[in-house]
Structure 1
Amino acid sequence: MFTKVRVRDLALLLRHPRVQNCFVTTRCHASTQTSKIYEIRHYRMHVHTVKTFLEMAKQSMPVRTSYSKMVGFWTTELGDGINDIVHIWEYGSLDERRRVRQALATDRRWQDDFIAHIMPMCLMQRNNVLQCMPGTDIVYPKPDSGSYELQEVKYNQNLAKAADCVKGISRPGSQLLACWSNVLSRQNHGLLLWHHKELDNILETQSPVKEIEIKKRKLLTPQSFSVMR
């Protein structure tokens, strides 16, 4: 059974502070959300195929970057996974990523000239979807100005508090380029991407932060076609 409500009564109801607060809270929450995501992809190659893979990737990269923005493309030199390929891509949303992957699957230039050749070279592939920590964004360093380090970390606080802790990390001669949290993989885990002006800076002990546990570290070598290089 429906109850009749007069327009005047409805207007008075909408002016009630509690009702107005509900509308304001909803609008603010929506305006602060971001759907931008980053996908990191790891390929482990047969050792004797790494050079060939990188040559083919360089040739085919104009096709790939016509679909979405590259953050960086590296090989692992030291640390977890020697000779692994690591590359990171930016998307406006998960839906955008889905559309890009669907388009690449039907692009014969990408499939025939690249994918068909490199698949036999791969021993393993894995990926992860990430978002920037609250209040942070990616910094792009001057090209050809140093070395890169990728850290896999666990956050022992909620993401907002962990983000504040990350910003406070002191590491002489180094710059934090990005701090991400996992979206679809292990929760309360993420990645820190560092830039070191001098390679030996990687040996400098960063200030200990109990809220952040470093699980793995690897030194990355950027490729000539990488945006971060």
Structure 2
Amino acid sequence: MQKKSLPTENNDALECAVAAIAAAMADPSRVKMLCALMDGRAWTATELSAAADVAPSTASGHLARLVEGKLIVCLSQGRHRYYRLAGHDVAELVEQIMGLSWNRIMPPETTAPKTMREARTCYDHLAGTIAVQIYDFMLAENWLEPDGSALTVLGREQFLKLGIALNTHSRRKACCACLDWSERRFHMGGEAGAALLIFLETKGWIQRVAGYREVVVTPVGKSAIHQHFSR
């Protein structure tokens, strides 16, 4: 049976939408801002101008382009204005592009601090060496589909057994494989990745460093993660 093609106007709309997103990201300073916002917090224009190493007046223009491209949103609170990523889908897009970009160049010696490489947040899920090890364990134990796109029945059972709450009515991806920019391997994102981060933090196995993406694995956490997520 011959597949029906999309109406020309739909094709045009899609092409324009893709081009608009690409144009909004097509500047190193704007990319730096998006990467800074990957810690999941809302930032002021002043903070983002410092992160991108540009003048406040220049930052204002970049932020306007990102808002126009629907990659970030502006929140007003009293006299202050804050910017944050527009949603989980944008965070996943930035993470995937970061991973794809690393694959296009010769692997450099990373300048990331050892603590950042070990554990950090990636928007609302865990990244770094620890996260990659957990992902590898889940794959080996058949908790995840081979491509990391979903939890298996066994995986859902194991999450329930551990007490990791999953939102079955979430509109976002249930699970996805995110390419870790420091390890060049996958860690777990999506709803399952976010639920895992909340679980680890609630148990006191990890602690966030206020104002930074860095995450500290507590002594109790190291023992517990080894117990539950290693073969």
- TM interval, shorter chain, is under 0.3
Q: Which has the larger radius of gyration?
A: 1
Higher strand share: 1
| TM-score where L is the length of structure 2 | 0.27
User: Whose relative contact order is higher, 1 or 2, with alpha carbons under 8 Å and at least 6 apart?
Assistant: 1
